[in-house]
């Protein structure tokens, strides 16, 4: 809540709630790390509770169309895992749809295949299809994309937007390079 207020007073355009990559909210969501026996553990409705409470708290500071959420379905950072990831992340994606957020941002579970130019693991593809169906709003994917793979995935309707990390760090003028098909570092 304080971070959301600070971002607002600092003039940011919006905030992203980081519920991915093994950080605290992700540890609540995934069954391997959530060992709680209270109303924040056990059933997915409980494991998702803290994230939903954070979304609601941040939405008191920002209009929800200025709030995004980041998830990493099938993520394995720090050995995190879930017993039934399709049920878990399907529930979270559907629940988040109710809030009319700016977007849902997924760490691409098929990042290795994208980088290696191989066929994605069917589990990753199934998860992406499922979350696309469950989440009724703008979907962002990030992880391992270049211009060609990003355009191909957008054309296939797998996401509305693709985010870039390393390419943007190495090429601050990345959009212009994409536009003119210039080489990238």
Ligand X SMILES: Cc1cc2nc3c(=O)[nH]c(=O)nc-3n(C[C@H](O)[C@H](O)[C@H](O)COP(=O)(O)O)c2cc1C
Q: Least Å distance between CB 21 and ligand X?
A: 4
The encoded tokens of residue 127 equal: 């998860």
Quickly list H helices, the chain: 2-9, 24-29, 44-47, 49-58, 85-97, 111-116, 122-134, 147-155, 166-170, 174-180
Contact pick of 104, 130, 131, 142 for ligand X (by CB under 6 A): 142
Q: Least Å distance between CB 39 and ligand X?
A: 27
Maximum Cα interatomic distance, the chain, rounded to a whole number of Å: 55
Which residues, at least 6 apart from 12, have a Cβ–Cβ distance to it below 8 Å?
none
Task: Note whether 3 binds ligand X by CB under 6 A.
Answer: no
Task: Note whether 135 binds ligand X by CB under 6 A.
Answer: no
Which residue has the closest beta carbon to ligand X? 165
Q: Least Å distance between CB 138 and ligand X?
A: 17
* Binding positions for ligand X, 163-182, rule CB under 6 A: 164-167
- The Cα–Cα gap between 143 and 139 comes to 14
The site string for ligand X over 104-123 (x = CB under 6 A, - otherwise) reads ---x----------------
- The Cα–Cα gap between 162 and 156 comes to 12
Q: Least Å distance between CB 77 and ligand X?
A: 8
For the sheet containing 15-19, what is the strand order? Answer: 15-19, 67-71, 103-107, 139-142, 161-163
The encoded tokens of residue 104 equal: 């849902």
For the question of residue 103 being annotated catalytic, the response is no
Task: Note whether 149 binds ligand X by CB under 6 A.
Answer: no
Task: Note whether 71 binds ligand X by CB under 6 A.
Answer: no
Contact pick of 7, 15, 19, 20 for ligand X (by CB under 6 A): 20
Task: Note whether 147 binds ligand X by CB under 6 A.
Answer: no
Task: Show which residues are catalytic.
Answer: 23
The site for ligand X (CB under 6 A) is made up of 20-21, 107, 142-145, 164-167
């Amino acid at each position: 809540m304080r971070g959301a207020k600070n971002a607002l007073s600092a003039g940011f355009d919006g905030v992203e709630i980081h519920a991915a990559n093994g950080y605290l909210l992700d540890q609540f969501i995934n069954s391997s790390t959530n060992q709680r026996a209270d109303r924040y553990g056990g059933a997915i409705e409980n494991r998702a509770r803290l994230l939903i409470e954070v979304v609601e708290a941040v939405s008191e500071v920002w209009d929800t169309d200025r709030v995004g959420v980041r998830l990493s379905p099938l993520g394995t950072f720090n050995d995190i895992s879930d017993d039934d990831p399709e049920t878990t992340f399907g529930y979270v994606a559907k629940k988040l749809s109710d809030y009319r957020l700016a977007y849902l941002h997924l760490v691409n579970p098929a990042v290795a295949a994208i980088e290696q130019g191989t066929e994605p693991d069917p589990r990753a593809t199934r998860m992406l299809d499922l979350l696309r169906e469950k989440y009724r709003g703008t979907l962002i994917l990030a992880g391992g994309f270049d211009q060609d793979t990003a355009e191909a995935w957008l054309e296939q309707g797998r996401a509305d937007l693709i985010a870039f990390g390393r390419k943007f760090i190495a090429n601050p003028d990345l959009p212009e390079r994409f536009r003119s098909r210039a080489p990238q570092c």
